[in-house]
Structures are given as structure tokens and as C-alpha cells.
Amino acid sequence: MKMELVTLIDKLAEEHKLSKEEYITLLTGCGSEEAAYLAEKARAEKEKYYGNNVFIRGLIEISNICKNDCYYCGIRRSNPNCERYRLTEEDILECCREGYELGFRTFVLQGGEDGYFTDERLVALLHSIKANHPDCAVTLSLGERSKSSYKALKEAGADRYLLRHETANEGHYTKLHPAELSWKHRMECLQWLRECGYQVGAGFMVGSPYQTVEMLAEELKFIEEFKPEMCGIGPFIPHKDTCFKDEPAGSVETTLLLLSMIRLIHPKVLLPATTALGTMAENGRERGILAGANVVMPNLSPASVRKKYMLYDNKLSDGAESAQAKNELEKRMASIGCTVVVDRGDAVK
Ligand code: 5AD
């Protein structure tokens, strides 16, 4: 192993921060041995707070109708090949009932920015979910909304909110999104969510077009500063109906390095091994957990809509990715020494 890198890894594990230059050194210099050492440190840090527990979230994709036109995303509004759907309130409550039976204690309602889901409708839905399942957490992942909306949804019982910032670099953001979307506004939304009292999830894609290693170092500086309670990262994967269809996918190895580094920066973070990671690599989620992740989010959407929520090509939704195959997930996690728990899975204080 390169001693310079070992020293940096030890420093990161102790001080939970590095300079931008040091992050670049690690990101560019780590070979497989250094990555294994980094992962070992990250696992030890995770185990201090979470032991070998893996938290699960039932992911309900409530609508793929979206008013935005993000250049990388398969459900962007200008994709005519995307078959649109929207779940009814009854569909969503049925998913929660089924998920509860399966042992899920967090439900994530994720969707495109679909104007149908007004505050009024979401508040009613949250009241119903919380009345049916008072021991469960509800996470929303519904994009940019007003501060008053975030506040109303929090008061109606939402516990957490996922809003990936997508990139910490403003110039990069403008290359991934049309002009009507702004990085400053996205960051403002994250601030509002925190002010409203949510456990907040940020996150970014690894290997998105135009991303440089300097930008990845900026991502890590952003995590140091903002300290999101949750951080969703996964490799960029091209979608055939988007501007970026011919761009290369992000690297699995770099994603794993970043998971380990994020764990060391913010030891108590809730860190998912994402579907994108599972899509890009055989045993991708297990490798993510071994790199320091502690959350997986199986798909709890009705089987009839799963193939329609195609953010990127070949997105997994069956096998161990499906909530109904929780047994298989448990086996896979047991094979790496981890236990799937029936728990809300809040971040430790
Ligand atoms: N590849 C990987 N991740 C993607 N997302 C959207 N499109 C892609 C893609 N092509 C991610 C974004 C978004 C989340 C819901 O999915 O980061 O925030």
C-alpha cells in the first residue's frame, strides 16, 4: 500500500475532514488495497453506531409525471417514450399495508414533480399513513416545493425528506439541467427542509457528464459542511431517451470509495447502497454495505408500474430489489455478516 494514502485515510478516520487537495489525492491514488483499507475503516466507524444492522426502507414510486426536464433523467417531461402513471391514494395506502406486513417501518414516497400532489392531497395522505402505521417513519422525495409546503407536510407527519443536490458545483449544475432550474434554489430548498425540522437527505450522482475529480472533492467538502442526515449517491447510468444517452456510466469503484469517505466524514450518516449501484454491479448493494453503507431501499411500488419508473436504463426492480423478496435480501446481507432489522432506522443522536 502507498504510505501517503494510508496516512490520509488514518487522518480522515480521526479528524473526519481533509482538504480538497487531500480528497483528490485519495480519489485518484487509491488502488484496490487502499480501497479495502478505507472500507475497513469505514465499516469500523459504522459499527460503532449501528453495529451490523442494515435498515430497510419501502420505496413507493407514486408518480412518474414530472414538470422538469433534467438532461440525465428518464422520466424528464420531454421523453415521449415514458409511459406516465400516477398512483391513487388507495394504491399508496395498500403499498404501505403490504410493506408493514413485510416488516418495513419506513415508507419513502418518491415521485417526479407532479402538480397533482398538492399540499392538501399530501397532507391527507400523510394523516392516513400515520393513522394506519403510527410506529412508522415517512420519508418524502418529491423534489422542490415552497417552504410553506415543506412546513405543512412536516406538520402532517412527514419525518424525512430526500432531495439530492445532484452536484455541489453551480457551473456543473447548469450543464445537467435546463435554465429554469437553479442550483441556488435547490440549495435553498435543502436549507428550508432543515429549518422545518426534517431529517434531510442530500446526494449526487457519481460520474455524471462533465464531472471532474475536483468536483467530487467539492462534494465531500459539501458533506463536511452541510452534514445531511442521509446521503444518496450512486453511479450515473445513461438513459436511452435523454441528452446523455451516449455518455459513459459512472464507476462502481469510485462510488464505493466515496461511500467509505462519506462514512468517515460523517460517521452517523444514514447511507444507502442505492439501486443504481445494484444495477451497475453484481452484488453492488452488498459491496456498498461493505464499503460503509447501512441502508437499502427495496421497491414497494405496485408491480404494474415498476418498469415505468425508469430513471436510467435497466433499472432493477425485481429480485432482491423488490420488497417482496425481503428473504433474499436478508440472505444476501447475512452472507456478509449483516442483519436486516425491523425498525424505523432513525439516525443515532
Ligand atoms: N443515472 C443515475 N441516477 C439518476 N437519477 C436520475 N437519473 C439518473 C441516471 N440517469 C437520480 C438523481 C435523482 C434520483 C431520484 O435519481 O440523482 O435525484
Residues 6+ away with beta carbon under 8 Å from 132: 93, 96, 97, 100
CA of 297 from ligand 1 middle (Å) equals 15
Atom of ligand 1 nearest to the CA of 244: 10
Whose grid coordinates read 446526494? 203
For range 279-301, the mean pLDDT: 97
For range 226-231, the mean pLDDT: 98
| Antiparallel, parallel or unpaired: β 53-56 and 160-162 | unpaired
Which one, of 106, 107, 49, lies nearest residue 294 by Cα?
49
Predicted confidence at residue 1, as pLDDT, reads: 95
Residues having CB within 6 Å of any atom of ligand 1: 72-73, 164, 166, 205, 234, 236-237, 239, 276, 311-312
Residue 162 · residue 203 · CB < 8 Å = yes
SS3 letters across 62-83: EECCCCCCCCCCCCCCCCCCCC
The number of beta carbons lying within 10 Å of the beta carbon of residue 144 is 17
CA of 73 from ligand 1 middle (Å) equals 6
pTM of the shown model? 0.98
Mutating to test ligand 1, I would choose from 64, 161, 312, 316 the residue with most ligand atoms within 8 A of its C-beta, which is 312
**pLDDT, tens digit, 9 for 90 and up, residues 26-72:** 999 999 999 999 999 999 999 999 999 999 999 999 999 999 999 99
Of the pLDDT bands very low, low, confident and very high (cuts 50, 70, 90), residue 318 is confident
CA of 238 from ligand 1 middle (Å) equals 9
**pLDDT, tens digit, 9 for 90 and up, residues 101-145:** 999 999 999 999 999 999 999 999 999 999 999 999 999 999 999
Atom of ligand 1 nearest to the CA of 164: 18
CA–CA separation, 220 and 207 (whole Å): 14
The number of beta carbons lying within 10 Å of the beta carbon of residue 282 is 8
CA–CA separation, 276 and 250 (whole Å): 10
Predicted confidence at residue 34, as pLDDT, reads: 98
End-to-end CA distance of the chain: 35
Whose grid coordinates read 407514486? 62
Query: What number does CATH give the domain 3-341?
Result: 3.20.20.70
CA of 311 from ligand 1 middle (Å) equals 6
What length is written for the chain? 349
Each domain of the chain, given as residue ranges in start order, spans 3-341
Whose grid coordinates read 399495508? 97
